[in-house]
Structure 1
Amino acid sequence: MGTPGALSSGVKDMEQEYLVPECPICFASYDNVFKTPLLLPCSHTFCMECLSKLCVFQKEMETFCCPMCRAVVTIPPGGVPQLPPNMNIVSRFPPWMGELQKVWMEGSKLCWRKGYDHNYVTATPNTLSHYPPGQEENMVISIYLLSPAAPGFSQSADLVMVPRQPRHHRCNLLLRNYGCILWLFICCIMLLFFMVFLPTYLRL
C-alpha cells in the first residue's frame, strides 16, 4: 500500500496529465466533491468550497456578488451546492474521479456521504486524500467553512463580552446624572443670587 506522499505525488501527476483546471480563488484543482466547479450566471466558475465560504452567513434566496465581476447571484434553495456545475470543466476530469457527488450544507459545513463503491482521490490539502472502494462505506465526510472548534465565532477568547445592565440599574444611573445636573443648576442660581444681592445688602 502506497504512502500518503506517494499518493499525493501520483495524483498530482495524473492531474497534470489530464490538465484539471484550478479554482481562481484558492488555486486548488477542481474535483467531483467539495471542489466541484460551479458555474455562475455571469459565466465565471469557482469551486463549491470557496463559494460556500463566501456565502456562509447568507441564507437561501439571498444574493452575493461574483468575486470576479461583482455580478449579483441569487443563492438557490438548498444553498450554494445547488448552483449548476460547469459541465465543460467536469467533462475534462480524469476517469478515476467518476461522477459528481451529492454535497449538501449543514449549518456552516459541507457534507458528503461516501458510498460503498466510491473511489475518491484528490490532491486538495484541506479536504480528502484517498478512500479506496469498500473502505468506511456510508461515511459522512464534512468540511467546516468556519473554525471547527468554534463555528459562528463562539469562543470566549475571540469575543469581548459586554454584560447588558439591568433596567433598574440604567434608570438609577440616569437619575444620578439628572441629579448632578440639577445640583449644578442650583449652585449657579445661588452664586448668581449672592453676586446680585450681596453688594446691595452690604450697602445698607
Structure 2
Amino acid sequence: MEPDPNDLRDPYKPDAEEGELPDLECAICFCQFNNIFNTPKVLECKHTFCLECLARMNVKSAQPNTIQCPLCRAYTPLPDLGLPKLANDSTVLSYLPSAMQHVYSIRFNRNKGKLQVKRVPSSAPVLTHTINQSLDVVNPAGEERASARERSVLNTVLRSPLCKAFLMSAVAIMMVIIIIAIIILKVGPT
C-alpha cells in the first residue's frame, strides 16, 4: 500500500490512537530513557529526546535560551529555570519500570557543561548509591565510560570457553589457508 502524500503525521512519532508503544530510547544517542540524566524531555514540536543529549546540544548552541529539534528543526524556548525544567514525556515515563516513575531533580550548569543530581527523592529506590551525581556533557567522559563498558562486555565474551574455541578454530583455519596460499605461490602454476 502506497503512503498517503496528504498524511501530515510525523513519521518519527507513533500515533497514540493506534495503540503503539512510544519509543523508549532517545533518537539521538539510542540510550534507553530513565529518570536521571536520560529523562525523556518533550519539545514543543512533540519530539522527545533525553536530557543528556539536549544538554550536549545546548552547550554547543549559539542560542542558549532555545533548543532546536534535530528532527524537524523547530525551536523550543527553554524555561526560565533552564533545560531540566522542560516538560517530561509522561507517556514515555509511564512505560518505564515503577522504580523509574519519579524523576530526579537535576541542575544544569551550561557554563561548566555539567548535569548534576540536585537531590535524591526520599521515594527513590534502594539503588540510589549507584547513581552518578554529575555528568560532564562537554568532555567525552561519557563516551569513555561507554567504551569502557563495551570493553568490559567484550572481555567477558572473549573469556567464554565457546568464544575461545571459535577464535582458536578461526586462527587454525586462517593458518591452513595461508600455508596453502604459500605452497601454491612457491610451486606456481604447472
Give the aligned CA root-mean-square deviation in angstroms. Answer: 2.9
Query: Which structure's CA Rg is the greater one?
Result: 1
Q: 2:135 is matched with which residue?
A: 143
The aligned amino acid for 2:105 is: K
Shift of residue 20 of structure 1? 7.2
Alpha-carbon contact 1:52-1:80 (below 8 Å) kept: yes
Q: Matched residue of 1:132: which SS?
A: helix
1:70 aligns with 2:73: yes
Closer, same or farther: CA 85–117 of 1 in aligned 2, 3 Å = closer
Runs of 4 or more off by more than 6 Å in structure 1?
Answer: none
1:49 to 42, 49, 52: 52
**In percent, how many aligned pairs have the same letter?**
32
The alpha-carbon deviation at position 63 of structure 1 amounts to: 2.2
Letter in 1 for 2:102: E
Distance in 1, Cα, partners of 2:57 & 2:64: 15
Rounded to whole Å, the distance in 2 between the matches of 1:45 and 1:31 is: 13
Structure with greater helix percent: 2
TM-score by length of structure 1 reads 0.50
Distance 1:19 1:44 in 2: 11
Number of residue pairs aligned between Structure 1 and Structure 2: 118
Normalised by the size of structure 2, how large is the TM-score? 0.53
2:124 aligned to which of 118, 121, 129: 118
In structure 2, runs of 5+ residues without a counterpart are 1-20, 142-190
> Structure 1: any 5+ residue segments left out of the alignment?
1-17, 120-130, 150-204
Q: Which residue number corresponds to residue 31 of structure 1? A: 34
Secondary structure of the residue that 2:95 maps to in structure 1?
coil
Distance (whole Å) between structure 2 residues aligned to residue 42 and residue 96 of structure 1: 28
